[in-house]
Amino acid sequence: MSINLKHYKEILLMRKAELEKILYNLSNEINDINRCEIKDEGDFAAASMDSGRDYQIFLAQKKELEEINEALKKIDEGTYGICEMCDEPIQEERLKIKPYAKYCIICREYIEKEGKKHK
């Protein structure tokens, strides 16, 4: 399998820039909400809900950014597209959908099943 590393690096760098912009804006929104002086309980509840939802989005996008940075590092190291669990190549169809995938589909399914058993 021959992966077009340049293509995936471009995709990852574009998504990275997009996420950095989103995270910057979300961070500012969360800070603005936290700085507001809210006097009404209803407004406070609504602002808290918005802040909590923004924070959950922020955490999810921050995690994706970390995974993208790891994938970019792997491209530089020459280990991109190799499953971290079985050391087999990750299917290109999977990389097209999730270019920062760490695991092949078989190992990903195994990890998800194991995770559900331990909950």
The pLDDT score that the predictor gives to residue 7 is 95
Q: Which domains does the chain have, with CATH numbers?
A: 5-117 (1.20.120.910)
Reference 33, options 45, 51, 52; nearest CA is: 51
The answer to whether 90 touches 81, Cβ cutoff 8 Å, is: yes
Write out pLDDT tens, residues 23-76. 998 888 777 766 666 566 666 556 666 667 777 888 999 999 999 999 999 999
Using a pLDDT cut of 90, give the percent of the chain over it.
59
pLDDT at 95 over 80: yes
Query: pTM for the full model?
Result: 0.78
The pLDDT score that the predictor gives to residue 114 is 86
d(C-alpha 68, C-alpha 101), whole Å: 9
Kindly report the average pLDDT of the chain as a whole number: 86
